[in-house]
Chain A
Amino acid sequence: MSTQTKRRGDRKHTPKTKMIGLYKRAIQDAFHKLDPRIAVRNPVMFLVWVGTIVTALVTLDPNLFGTVTADPNQQRLLNGLITLILFFTVVFANFAEAVAEGRGKAQADSLRATRSDTMARKVLPDGSTQSVPSTALRRGEQVKVIAGEIIPVDGEVVSGIASVDESAITGESAPVLKQPGTDIASSVTGGTRVMSDELLIRITADPGQGFIDRMIALVEGAERSKTPNEIALTVLLTVLTQVFLIVVATLSPLANYVNTPTTIAILISLLVALIPTTIGGLLSAIGIAGMDRVAQFNVIATSGRAVEACGDVNTLVLDKTGTITLGNRLADEFIPVNGHSLDRLATIALASSLFDETPEGRSIVQLAEKLGAKLDFQPETTEGVEFSARTRMSGTNLAHGQQIRKGAVDAIKGFVRSRGGSLTPELDATYERVSKLGGTPLAVCQDSEIYGVIYLKDIVKPGIKERFDQLRCMGVRTIMLTGDNRITASVIAQEAGVDDFIAEATPEDKIDVIRQEQSQGKLVAMTGDGTNDAPALAQANVGLAMNSGTQAAKEAANMVDLDSDPTKLIDLVTIGKQLLITRGALTTFSIANDIAKYFAIIPTIFSAAGIGALNIMGLKSPQSAILSALIYNALIIPALIPLALKGVEFRPLTADQLLRRNILFFGLGGVIAPFIAIKLIDVILPFA
């Protein structure tokens, strides 16, 4: 697996969306959502919606369902006010959802602006080019894109080297080099711009099915379906609603029996007050906001299910390089063995890294040159040998058949042995010494002779240990995967504070670790960017692919990080947990609210039955009590929209601590707050 080597520093994610007109559009959408075909999707609020229609009818004719004894005009006024409050309860709930959706739509608009129907130079079989609209291009066809032009659709670079500006998607202003033949750099995205030179690109996606198109569909919520937790909560809320519907529907005969006949409007008010409208109105907004928070982090989630799964993750499988340690390991020291001089080792190391363009390779060249090393051959006469996961070494073939190699100590030992060379204990001692320092030892040889070891220094990212401590506190286990030897891996693992590590890991080990953890009933999250990571990304419950990665990795994962920063997986776990905590907190609050509303309305309905003592809030009159409870019920929804969108403040606590905190803040608060609020509204209302 490889990682992108650009500097990330402390760059924070910045939303690229335009929020202008967000609220205006949300207000419009809130009214559009009154369409019964849309309203029916939210069972709790649909009941309020039907109740609004019934109270509207009794406002027009107070005697519709039976002759009322009170003054018809006064009754009409009360019914009208109840209708108005119920109507706004539904509108506020719709507004909460519309605001959450609007943020996603704004981001989709921003992405849509990058997708333009440009003209493309299609390459014909005879090699000539033809100008065609980008929508006419099909998978498998080839296009030529020159400097200044926009890449029409997603594809793979066939030939050419060019720098490409991907800021439209990633927000990263530095252009990225694209060239054929490598997993990462050969993948290009439609909508990005070629800054220099030209590329011949083979199209990998039909129009409308490219990466940006899929991202637009996702952030707009077109593919949004309820997550398992949302479904479970919906069932719970529906059961509660059903129970209260049956109770209220059968209450009228009881009220008549105790000589306190009630009107239909009051029964509907009682029903609306008792059913969990607060969480019913905010439930979808919380889910959408969770996805939006992920999007604000420049991560695209394929579904709410993926975001929610982040909150339930038990195990994080993390690559060492780029995630736990800083991406670039740098050569710190040359350690000669077998009696060779430092100068000779530096010369051989320089020769071995002649064609190595990785940061590690360049740092070896720099250190060698700093030590005064010079090549004793013409570079033009040599041939580079690229690193591969199989050989685990790279190097240079000289003109006279000599072979210089650098790589993992085991690999170099094998190479030397195959050429009849002998091994000394000095090499193993040096290897152990570097490993124990947490560095990566690279052995350097020429044919059958080992010259020494290069000490590549690994630097653990600042603050990563504290992050892992927090994760452990939340019950999340961390496993580090590295191609390094066991000693180096153990030192880094200890320094970083991971729970477990797998040394000398191959890409196949990833999927094995994931399967092993899943077989114990755990949910696993991992990051990846290479084609060989795709099976593991698909197997993991949360697979975060890097945007710089291959198309296969991006398609297999259920999340794509546009900044290509693997550390974000830890942030995503936090966001997922925050989503679950917010949903739990607001559900607790909503259900706890019922107690105060019960004490506000029930004594008024059964006042003649001698239960006036239950009016513990001392509310002025039955009308005032009902209106106060309903006004509170309506206003609490918009009041909680910011909390639903922003999420409850996250603290790394254990499940028990979280439960206690939830019950204390949102349970007790949910009982006390409405008592105070309803009493205040009752005092303000002019009803005597």
Chain B
Amino acid sequence: MITIQGKGVSTGVAAGPLYFYRRAKGTITRFTVEDRDAEWQRFKDAQAKAIEQLGELAEKARVEAGDEAAMLFETHQMMAEDLDYEETIQGLILDEGQNAEAVVTDVGAQFADMFATMDDDYMKARAADVKDVSGRIVGILLGIVQGGIDSDVPVVLASDDLAPSETVQLDKSKILGFVTSGGSGSSHTAILARTMGIPAIIGVGDQLKEEYEGREVIIDGGTGIVAVDPDEDTRVHLMKKREEQLKRLALLNQLKGQPNETKDGQKIKIFCNIGDPSDVAAVLENDGGGVGLFRSEFLYLNCDDYPTEDYQFEAYKKVLSDLDGKEVVIRTLDIGADKQIAYFDMPKEENPALGNRALRICLNRPEIFRTQLRALFRASAFGKLGIMFPMVTSVWEVKEAKKMCDQVRAELDAEGIAYSDDVEIGIMIETPAAAVISDRLAQIVDFFSIGTNDLTQYTLACDRQNNDLGRFFNAHHPAVLRLIKLVTENAHKHGAWVGICGELGADLELTETFLSIGLDELSVSPRSVLPLRQKVRETNVSEVRERLMDDLMSDANTI
């Protein structure tokens, strides 16, 4: 087995024979033309033909990969008729009498170079677009038909770097995956591969040799691994992964866009837990309805010192804009206990789970909290934001935190900085104390999110990281479920919505119970969204509610 490491840019596992993309190459000769006007006309004809082809490609891409992909070819059309580009070509043909093929090749390279030398990754990547457009016009001038895949069975396609137009023109039924030696994650090949759901790995360099042609490969677009002649272990491992992915994909096709609604019409929101702005892709891929828990700790963990307001603002803003109006609940700093950060310089505690953590740190060190709240409110102008405080035990804590929110708003007003007046304020319910006084807490917040991992740990007095406590740590314990029921009833009594953002939310054995209790939202890891949606859609709450609630609340000793 030969293992090659590249960069995975489109997830999924594919297995099949390796096939090298063959590009039809014409030889460009240089000569002086006799009839310059006729040569110019020849260019204009080829340009018109290119624009027509690009229009057809745009429509093909629209059907296969959506408007975004189509727009790419429309941009190519505009590049093909760009005035600077055209005038430069015109000058070389009419004034100097050079032949059209040579001129377009040169001018294409010249414009591509201008992009390639720009100080901006996005613009650098545009060099490929200009080359692609010029290559198309040259191809038309030379009468070349672009190469396809000459194989009866589907293949894993290898190439140096595919131009976007090449990617779209290919017969997709023949392609299991892409491996390219060059390319970047923001190249169109990567983007198109992702939208079309074809695994892709880029940047494998010269490790991929043409002599591997026809040999069996398995590629994993998640990890960027290309295995040529895979051994048995690798094959079994990756094929299992592939099966899971196919199942998920089938589920996705069946459930994407469908409401999270039970057979008898009860609805529940299914949101996602994320820990990094880059996780947003997974939320959208899995059709999550929003973000129910965005852990802000990564901002602090990625830095050697307290992250600045602007740094935080950019991260929050990115997630809010990417979610495009869907609600995003961002949890304020939740460190301490098992998450320690050196520059916070916290004294060592005997019992960190019961120590100075989360909101407690924020209230004790308001300067840190204020920076985060300012960044959050500033970002609120870019989407639908909920702010959530972790580790609450008393009403006064929430009041103090809300007072700081008021102060931050007043500051922003004074500075003339925009923020949304539609920001929801909520708290995590992770302590038995918060659950028991949730009737009072519900009156001063917009929502609750139940953190079942900590709620279980504190309710059962069981350290969740102690493996020896396995059978004592039971998240299905009636004490935990009764607290969830109590919290939900109290929230609804006072007009607050309530969700779960712990791992329990994705536990399909409890979905019927949660629906019966009447939770408004479940926030789960992105990959759990669709299985959960499926479970919700199979449930008939009116059939199970009475039995489940009786079981939960009865004084019988049998459970």
- A and B part of one assembly: no
On B, residues with C-beta under 8 Å from A are none
On A, residues with C-beta under 8 Å from B are none
